């Protein structure tokens, strides 16, 4: 497999998968998506790619790499250049800070609330909403005087943070009270090559 035929194992409604697909699209790189729903992720063939059974998994030539953050770092280093992942120590640290937030507060807040709401995943929705409220308040304040999360230009921090923030309403987390977050989302969406994440229907509230 060459860079012109990068394979991504994942599902289109996964925010973690979307991070990778969106970044590949922003880089202008062709790829093929190998749909890997839960049943596929239990098979020996998939477990040979990632023994943890998680998506996304990237195949680029002989390289097999899992974890969306690791994949973003790899793609930025190999194909994206310093614009997407700066080399300067402070700028690199700022990107890492937001990657850590995407893997922690973003995962256990908006992402977990979305899974609970759409698919009845594990957890307590009120706890997810509390985490999301703290995170979104922090992001809103940060974005009052920043155009992007980690630098004056887009980086992989914005790619990592976009998907679950944009789809927070699918976890019953409205964004109406966060104008700076919504403006940031619009700036990301205006980037050349941006790939939209499909929307999911929110189940009716129980009466």
**pLDDT digits 0-9 by tens, 110-139:** 999 999 999 997 889 999 999 999 999 999
* Average pLDDT of every residue of the chain: 94
> What are the CA-CA distances from residue 72 to residues 58, 96, 203 (Å)?
10, 12, 32
Token couple for 137: 């308040």
pTM, two decimal places? 0.94
Q: Which domains does the chain have, with CATH numbers?
A: 3-80 (3.40.30.10), 89-189 (1.20.1050.10)
Tell me the pLDDT tens digit for each residue of 15-38: 999 999 999 999 999 999 999 999
CB of 87 within 8 A of CB of 45? no
Tell me the pLDDT tens digit for each residue of 171-186: 999 999 999 999 999 9
DSSP states along 20-70: HHHHHHHTT--EEEEE--HHHHTSHHHHHH-TT--S-EEEETTEEEESHHH
Token couple for 89: 């120590």
């Amino acid at each position: 497999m060459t860079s012109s035929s990068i394979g991504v194992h994942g599902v289109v409604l996964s925010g973690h998968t979307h991070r990778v697909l969106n970044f590949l699209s922003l880089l202008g790189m062709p790829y093929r998506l190998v749909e890997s729903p839960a049943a596929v992720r239990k098979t020996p063939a998939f477990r040979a790619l990632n023994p943890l059974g998680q998506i996304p998994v990237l195949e680029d030539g002989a390289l097999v790499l899992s974890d969306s953050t690791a994949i973003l770092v790899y793609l930025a280093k190999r194909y994206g250049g310093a614009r997407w992942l700066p080399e300067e120590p402070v700028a690199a640290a700022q990107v890492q800070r937001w990657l850590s937030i995407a893997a922690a507060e973003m995962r256990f807040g908006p992402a977990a609330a979305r899974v609970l709401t759409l698919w009845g995943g594990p957890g307590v929705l009120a706890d997810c909403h509390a985490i999301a409220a703290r995170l979104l308040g922090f992001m809103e304040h940060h974005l009052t005087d920043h155009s992007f999360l980690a630098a004056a230009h887009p980086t992989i921090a914005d790619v990592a943070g976009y998907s679950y923030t944009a789809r927070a309403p699918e976890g019953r987390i409205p964004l109406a009270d966060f104008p700076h977050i919504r403006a940031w989302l619009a700036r990301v969406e205006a980037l050349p090559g941006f790939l939209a994440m499909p929307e999911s229907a929110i189940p009716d509230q129980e009466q």
